[in-house]
Amino acid sequence: MRFALAGRSVHATLRADMSEEKNDDELEGDEPAGDELLEQARRVEFVPADFVARAKLSELFEREAPFEVDIGSGEGTFILTMAERHPERNFLGIERLLGRVRKTCRAVARREFTHVRMLRLEIAYALRYVLPQESVSVAHVLFPDPWPKRYHHPRRLIQDGFMEAMHGILVAGGELRIKTDDEPYFLWMEKVLAKAKGYERLEWPEDLDEYPTTDFEARFVAQGLPIYRARLRKV
């Protein structure tokens, strides 16, 4: 692993190293799959019938169950682990990169999960236009890109508009749970969260939901780096 460059955080360097280890284009074909598995994997991906009208939960899942969303699901480690531990819940992963979506879909199909779907779409658009209103029990935002350069800050996920859209899709009492390794980004988040209307802050106990460790988190913890957390509830 290279040393952190001047003006670049250790966290950002670790992220870059992890990205270099697996190119997203390579993920599309990194595992052999038969025709039947590929067909099952295609059914895991949710493609809205109408991208300008909110979907119905019945279009995503055949059964009614508490609905959780993994926002920026990456290679699927978190959502797959949660689905394994909580078969009584429904899960949707939202991810923009095609290779990651396809890899997760194959993993879901291989496990024969019927309570996990994937949506390949920009997060902001999905929250504001596609996900059903007042449907989400828990939204997980784990290690979003910190976009450390000042002129990239408008690209950060946690913004006023994100909090407004999130409030609309959460059920009453629904939760937003955020983790990051990047302290400057967390300080930015704290300012956004403090002025967001319709939420209350909650403590994050160590045993909360037996929270799975993501690939990013495992690497950061192994380096002795701190993890910052925020937990909010819709009121």
**Catalytically annotated residues:** 145
Residue linked to tokens 């930015």: 188
Beta strands 199-202; 228-234: pairing state: antiparallel
Nearest Cα residue to 127 out of 199, 72, 77: 72
* Residue pair 105/75 in contact by the 8 Å Cβ criterion: no
Q: Of 233, 162, 158, 171, which is closest to residue 198 (Cα–Cα)?
A: 233
Q: In what order do the strands lie in the sheet with 170-180?
A: 116-119, 90-94, 67-71, 136-142, 170-180, 228-234, 199-202
Q: d(Cα 118, Cα 18) in Å, to the nearest integer?
A: 22
Residue reference for tokens 């913890």: 221
Contact 193, 232 (CB under 8 A): yes
> What are the backbone angles phi and psi of residue 172, rounded to the nearest 5°?
-60, 125
SS3 content of the chain, % helix, strand, coil (to 5): 45, 20, 40
Strand partners, 190: none
Amino acid identity, position 179: K
